[in-house]
Structure 1
Amino acid sequence: MSKLNLLVLGIFLAACNNGQTTKTTTDSVATSPAVPELEQVFADSAYQLTGVAVAKDGRLFTNYPYWGDKHGYSVVEVVNGKPVPYPDSAWNSFHKGEDGQNKFVCVQSVVADDQGFLWVVDAAGIGLGPVYQGANKLLKINLATNQVDKIYHFPETVAGKDSYLNDIRIDNEHGFAYMTTSTNGGIVVLNIKTGESRLVLHDHYSVQSDKAYHFELNGRQMTVNSDGIALTADQQWLYYKPLTDDKLYRINTSLLRNFKTSMKTLQDSVKDLGRFVTTDGMICDTAGNLYLGDLEKSAIVKITPDLQMHYIAQDKKQLLWPDSYSISADGYLYISCSQITYSPVLPYKIFRLKL
């Protein structure tokens, strides 16, 4: 990451307090011999990527947030190993000073759902700063037609100028989407049928990084609130956690889907699952296993439904800040590596592991 990007990142990653126990990154971990080596599937030397999404038919997508002074495209489909602006060049043509309502401004994540749609979270926080001209939004793109199907906007009380929308999970069965907001901490619940939304668990301890946990990587101390999010295959549980501590939480989605559920009831219903690893993104498979990246050990872990944690891969040269995840129909875990807190080891890469 360039010096400029590191400066920009400082807007988002506040320094931790001194005098806390520091977690080290030197430990090696025992991994399962049944898991193959990392397989590189995409590399880009031009821009820093964060998200990854694999559609049911195997199409691969990634995104590039507008964090530094150099920015070319926001969302691409990987075609024959090359990034092709998606859904078209017009959506990827934003320049500062322009209206960002119908262009990508600062895309943080992409997710392919089970119904043939790509969901794009545009946090619109250039350089991780305030939302640009109210342009934060969520796009639903039809992968069959490559056309934008719907654009969702949010009221100031849900995702205002100081909100940085991060990751997303989609429940098409009930018609809801769940997003984390990382700057102020919280979960945005969106009814994708009506467009109604609300911010829940704002300032609750489960969306705030534990101040007793001292996260330091490559000499940089930081604090990031709610980030990773995962939805079980039966749509009943939403897992989430702050980025810069090792706590993990979950909540029953039936409570989130009912907008009449009081904030106090939601807060009282959060399940504290204990301490595991620091991670950026995470994802559930159909068997109920949860996959996360251990940022401090450059590793991938699996947490089984009975909350047993297993390391399945480690590579200190390749897994440089494993960021986002997608599971393909043929059983591969796709992993994007955004290299946050690292000096750029070009190119930025996406890998996959056979599960």
Structure 2
Amino acid sequence: MNIKNITVLAMALVSLTACNKSPNQANPKSENEISTEKNAQLEEVFSDSTYQLTGVAVAKDNRVFVNYPYWLDTHSYSVVEVKDGKPVPYPNAEWNSFKKGEDGQNKFVTVQSVVTDDKGFLWVVDAAGIGLGKVYQHSSKVVKINLATNKIEKIYRFPESAGGENVYINDVRVDNQNGFAYLTNSNTGGIVVLNINTGESRLVLANSSSVKSDPNYHFSPLGKELKKGDGSLLKVNSDGIALTPDNQYLYYKPLTDNRMYRIKTDLLRDFKTNEAVLNKNVEDLGKFITTDGMIFDKKGNLYLGDLEKNSIVKMTPDLKMQTIVKDDEKLIWPDSYSISDDGYLYISNSQIQLMPWFHDGKEQFKKPFKVFRIKI
């Protein structure tokens, strides 16, 4: 794997000082403490001894879906349903048959995440950035699949202004009540707001400090700062994203620092709201932990994965944190989350810090890649 493939990930990250008005400081604390609950039991749901996975989604009837990004040459299917412990390409083999050089408009190219909603649909985020490179042939998209029929309901595509070649759409949260979806751009930073009824979309907060990773934070999931092959430090912008249960606030954060931000969704939904107003209304909640994905439960608790401490943390509505499970052997870059109706938090582990990108081109994976769940 050519280590240069990840250079696009760092584009514009060295110029993090150029941003709009600073977010409002909602939490005066410089750092929040973490209490510890009794260690929850990690139950293995699925394992793959060959391919690196990043996302997991569980449907109402406990159907489990997993996705695999096209980051390394060792890649096959992009989205699978787990049946009897085995991966079955979903929704069919054709959508999972992409090869470099082919048209990626109606096939999965580089699927970053999968999410189920409250209406019986699976949402597939195809960033289309092979090896975290530029978007392949304008083929980034969000695919909405009807889980009752296993048929594609709609494909959302993006104009250049919202989904240009340097926009790596990373994760999505869907608000069916108001008809909107929100995605993070983890490359150059920003939030893509998608009207799921009209298909209209726009990229906002692209110049806000809230979507930029703090260049002074020392991100160290292996006990020392994670460096790319060219010796530069890994810096990933807006990545984790979550909607409050009432859909009134969108929470988000850069991956490689510990700050958390939020903004009212009614401002995002109004496409007439200008950037100055949006920036003014971003709330800086303070310093917490580094995390990749994150998700709210119905009670307003936010679940995050502490990438530097191999643990899962619950943040209560009053912003207090509790470690609910820690496991240095199993929780290797807890990546994405999904909550089942019967009260389990599903956790995918992508082992990103063990990729060849950070180890002179040599894989350090502790295979198999696994999905776990814990009772919450």
> TM-score, normalised on structure 1?
0.93
With over 3 angstroms needed to count, the CA separation of the structure-2 counterparts of 1:204 and 1:15, relative to structure 1, is closer
Correspondence 1:285 to 2:297:
yes
- Matched to 1:193, the amino acid is N
- Matched to 1:183, the amino acid is N
Q: Distance in 2 between matches of 1:202 and 1:272?
A: 16
Q: Distance in 2 between matches of 1:166 and 1:15?
A: 17
With over 3 angstroms needed to count, the CA separation of the structure-2 counterparts of 1:163 and 1:96, relative to structure 1, is same
Q: Secondary structure at 2:198's aligned position in 1?
A: coil
With over 3 angstroms needed to count, the CA separation of the structure-2 counterparts of 1:142 and 1:344, relative to structure 1, is same
Correspondence 1:179 to 2:191:
no
290, 303, 307: which is aligned to 2:319?
Answer: 307
Corresponding residue for 1:91? 95
Is 1:8–1:68's contact at 8 Å kept on the other side of the alignment? no
Q: Distance in 2 between matches of 1:353 and 1:282?
A: 15
Q: Which runs of 5+ in 2 are unaligned?
A: 15-33, 227-232, 355-363
Q: How far off its partner does 1:46 sit? A: 1.3
Corresponding residue for 2:221? 217
Corresponding residue for 2:9? 12
Q: Secondary structure at 1:319's aligned position in 2?
A: coil
Q: Which runs of 5+ in 1 are unaligned?
A: 18-28
Alignment of 1:67-146 (within 5 A): 67-146=71-150
CA deviation string 1:94-121 (max 9, x = no partner):
0011100010000000000000000000
- Tell me the matched-pair count: 340
With over 3 angstroms needed to count, the CA separation of the structure-2 counterparts of 1:352 and 1:10, relative to structure 1, is farther
Q: Secondary structure at 2:262's aligned position in 1?
A: strand
Q: Distance in 1 between matches of 2:40 and 2:271?
A: 44
Q: How far off its partner does 1:216 sit? A: 2.5
Q: Distance in 1 between matches of 2:51 and 2:269?
A: 37
Correspondence 1:31 to 2:36:
yes
Corresponding residue for 1:26? none
58, 66, 75: which is aligned to 1:54?
Answer: 58
CA deviation string 1:238-281 (max 9, x = no partner):
00000000000000001111111111100000010000000000
Correspondence 1:244 to 2:244:
no
Q: Distance in 1 between matches of 2:137 and 2:5?
A: 19
Alignment of 1:323-334 (within 5 A): 323-334=335-346
Correspondence 1:274 to 2:286:
yes
Corresponding residue for 1:20? none
Correspondence 1:347 to 2:375:
no
159, 166, 185: which is aligned to 2:163?
Answer: 159
- Structure 1 outlier segments of 4+, above 6 Å: 14-17
Q: Distance in 1 between matches of 2:251 and 2:352?
A: 23
Corresponding residue for 1:66? 70
Q: Distance in 2 between matches of 1:274 and 1:345?
A: 34
Is 1:16–1:222's contact at 8 Å kept on the other side of the alignment? no
With over 3 angstroms needed to count, the CA separation of the structure-2 counterparts of 1:42 and 1:13, relative to structure 1, is farther
CA deviation string 1:34-81 (max 9, x = no partner):
x53211100001110000100011100010000011211000000000
Q: Distance in 1 between matches of 2:320 and 2:7?
A: 34
Q: Distance in 2 between matches of 1:199 and 1:8?
A: 24
Is 1:51–1:109's contact at 8 Å kept on the other side of the alignment? yes
Corresponding residue for 1:24? none
Q: Distance in 2 between matches of 1:215 and 1:258?
A: 35
Is 2:77–2:96's contact at 8 Å kept on the other side of the alignment? yes
Q: Secondary structure at 1:214's aligned position in 2?
A: coil
Correspondence 1:190 to 2:194:
yes
Q: Secondary structure at 1:311's aligned position in 2?
A: strand
Q: How far off its partner does 1:12 sit? A: 2.4
With over 3 angstroms needed to count, the CA separation of the structure-2 counterparts of 1:156 and 1:41, relative to structure 1, is same
**RMSD of aligned alpha carbons:** 1.6
Q: Secondary structure at 2:137's aligned position in 1?
A: helix
44, 47, 70: which is aligned to 2:48?
Answer: 44
Q: Distance in 2 between matches of 1:96 and 1:71?
A: 11
